[in-house]
Structure 1
């Protein structure tokens, strides 16, 4: 049974989005450490309490902003492992300097803020891993992929390489890079089979 709604004015989807966009802008401009609930609210002409009615704190707000920036990971079913992986990664296929700056403003803070790491994991990493696992499960059922692959490890490859490009190399993530990761790393790692030994 769902809990009753809180009294007061109804939540505005437009204001929700404005707060998330303001958070993204501030992440890109000043980074996570200098971002505050007060400055986010001020950019939208709102009060601090308005933000806290929607998100429990700064880390939850930032995680929601990053999740909104990425959009939902599609759960494709093209009939092939490669096709599904390419479609899953489609949110990264277009160069987006604003998105890249937001991500860069977040990663350093995640290294020393456990609450932020947990919030981002729940909002971004776990949905990505769930879609990746569903894709591989279908590929296993089709016989494309052996059932013994380490999905937890292989599933981290794409986020790790893309974040490395954004932060260490300061390079954009485009179609060429996405397909290099899929064709050069993910598909081989998932589909490799040990050669059958010839009878001695």
Structure 2
């Protein structure tokens, strides 16, 4: 759709703070009324645009935690240079715009994290990780590492990097949680 494409291009070129409905309408050769019939705000248009760029991701089922994590990372890292520019144009605005941040979390982040939660749930069912493993905390490790590498350092999230995340970070964290009770929470350690 021309309106989403225009919004994405502008987001990648100038960042969210400088994107306007007027600019999107002009680039898409559409009226503002056309845009507002579909989206109530610029934030809704931008998040819908970012969500539409993301490829659908099915929950992997390779039969092993390592295989499922590697497959999930393959799917996470398929963003191209254009998509990365669009994300870069959006991320800086999230802390300053609660509506945008909420929409982005609900429509883009939560579904992606849901994929990892499903991977962890399957691993629990297979007995590879312990019931009660903090999947909320561990699910943000992968996207955080990928985002840091790509968006902040400019380095690619290539297959070798994804393998290192799985082998050196995720598997040790997930299997350590299932094989030992772990240290006492830091708050308990400080009291001692």
TM range (shorter): 0.7 to 0.9
Question: Pairwise mapping of residues 54-65 of structure 1 onto structure 2 (< 5 A)?
Answer: 54-65=38-49
Question: Please, which of 94, 101, 106 is the counterpart of residue 90 of structure 2?
Answer: 106
Conserved? CA contact 2:142–2:165, under 8 Å: yes
Please tell me whether residue 150 in structure 1 is matched to residue 134 in structure 2.
Answer: yes
* Cα deviation, residue 21, structure 1: 1.8
Q: What are structure 2's unaligned runs of at least 5 residues?
A: 182-192
What count of residue pairs does the alignment treat as equivalent? 179
TM-score (norm 2): 0.86
Conserved? CA contact 1:140–1:147, under 8 Å: yes
**Cα pair distance change 1:128/1:93, threshold 3 Å:** closer
Question: Pairwise mapping of residues 1-200 of structure 1 onto structure 2 (< 5 A)?
Answer: 17-94=1-78, 96-192=80-176, 193-194=179-180
Q: Distance in 1 between matches of 2:103 and 2:138?
A: 22
Conserved? CA contact 1:165–1:173, under 8 Å: yes
* Cα deviation, residue 137, structure 1: 0.7
Conserved? CA contact 2:133–2:174, under 8 Å: yes
Conserved? CA contact 2:59–2:119, under 8 Å: yes
Q: Which residue of 1 aligns with 2:188?
A: none
Q: Distance in 2 between matches of 1:45 and 1:178?
A: 41
TM-score (norm 1): 0.83
Q: What are structure 1's unaligned runs of at least 5 residues?
A: 1-16, 196-200
- How big is each residue's C-alpha offset from its partner over 1:42-73, in whole Å with a ceiling of 9 and x where there is no partner? 22211111112212211111111111222222
* Cα deviation, residue 36, structure 1: 1.0
Q: Distance in 1 between matches of 2:41 and 2:126?
A: 44
Which structure is higher in helix share? 2
Q: CA RMSD in A?
A: 1.7
State which drifts further: 171-180 or 103-112. Answer: 171-180
Q: Distance in 1 between matches of 2:34 and 2:156?
A: 35
Runs of 4 or more, structure 1, over 6 Å off, are none
